[in-house]
Amino acid sequence: MPWKGEKDPYKIWLSEIILQQTRVEQGLKYYKKFVTCFPNVHALARAEEKKIYKLWEGLGYYSRCRNLIHTAKYISKQLKGQFPACHDDLKKLKGIGPYTAAAISSFAFNEPRAVVDGNVFRVLARIFGIDRAIDSTEGKRYFNRLANDLLAKEKAAVHNQAIMDFGAVICKPVPICELCPFNTSCHAFLNNSISFLPVKTKKAPLRKRWLNYVLIQYKGTVAVRQRIEKDIWHNLFEFLPVEANSDLRKNQLLEQMKEKGWLYKNGFEVKSVSAVFHQQLSHQRIKGRFMQIQFHRKPKLPSHMMWISEKKIKDHAFPKFINQYLQTND
């Protein structure tokens, strides 16, 4: 990976933010794009937010992007482009938690601080037979304390990279125990409890939502809005949304629009209604349809809607749910 052995705190920070909640295979191409477009924190801080969100499009968890922009501007302007060198100061920056702060301070500045990621949790839980939940406050505190006790403090960066790599290559979710140098002392291996460790708490219940979209077209333009509420897809763009409790067919969608005063009688033509699209988020499952309507005269829409050229649609960052539809209708 290009960030292996990296000493530039900007690139370490960028890679860690991108890889949060993201598989390495997916995050790699985004990392390369960001480094190419924004080679340093000043370049990122100066960039248009619209461009940054477009580059982030498809990565999900957009609060990461929002925090990335905020912190880049703060470091560029307030700290003159210099990242703090110590864990505690890094943790004060927006979007940087204990793990990311430890990664930056350890790899960039060799601060004696353990970096505890999913790989490290797994290695420690199995070798020492720890059944505390790794996603609980108490569990995180316990594992961090143990990792720091074990840390080779004079070679913090090398030690951290080694244990992370060990978890990625040997002590994987399905481990290669026959190659493991700890197989004569590993608690999980000796007690046949590999598949039970590490322990996680139960996931939050899944929320199910029906979110339909209406593509309102008028004289080569389409109506869109930016999501600014405290909800999924914050700051991304969308078409006119019609949320419901269940699947809505063509006539039901039109009825909803009439009730809201968005339709003129005989002043429009329904061009298409899609099949059901869906997207699985961490705690939500989104389903919905897309209805394309051509208007013969400009409709009265909510004030937060704006008109953009249909040719400019791809210049805006949309959530994956909407991009699925757009890609099938290119």
* CATH number of the CATH domain containing 3: 1.10.340.30
Residue 330: its pLDDT value, please? 67
Residue 318 covered by a domain: yes
Phi, psi torsion values for 245, nearest 5 degrees: -90, -10
Phi, psi torsion values for 240, nearest 5 degrees: -65, 115
**Residue 22: pLDDT over 90:** no
**Residue 209: pLDDT over 90:** yes
Residue 287 covered by a domain: yes
- Identify the burial level of 264 via C-beta atoms within 10 angstroms of its C-beta, where 0-12 means exposed, 13-18 middle and 19 or more buried: middle
Span 23-51, mean pLDDT?
Answer: 93
pTM of the full structure: 0.74
Rg (CA), the chain: 24
* CATH number of the CATH domain containing 292: 3.90.79.10
**Rounded distance between C-alpha atoms, residue 31 and residue 37, angstroms:** 10
Among 59, 78, 111, the domain-final residue is 111
Read off the pLDDT of residues 145-170 as tens digits, 9 standing for 90 and up.
999 999 999 999 999 999 999 998 99
Residue 118 covered by a domain: no
- List the beta strands (DSSP E) in the chain: 207-218, 221-226, 237-238, 240-244, 268-273, 277-280, 284-288, 290-295, 306-309
Among 89, 111, 133, the domain-final residue is 111
Read off the pLDDT of residues 220-241 as tens digits, 9 standing for 90 and up.
999 999 998 888 998 899 999 9
**Residue 203: pLDDT over 90:** no
Residue 180 covered by a domain: no
Span 46-53, mean pLDDT?
Answer: 93
Domain count for the chain, please give it: 2
Residue 21 covered by a domain: yes
Tell me which residue range forms the domain holding 50.
1-111
255 annotated active-site: no
Residue 222 covered by a domain: yes
Residue 257: its pLDDT value, please? 87
Is 317 found in the same domain as 211? yes
Residue 241: its pLDDT value, please? 92
Annotated active-site residue in 6, 16, 48, 259 = 16
Residue 29 covered by a domain: yes
Among 90, 111, 132, the domain-final residue is 111
Residue 124 covered by a domain: no
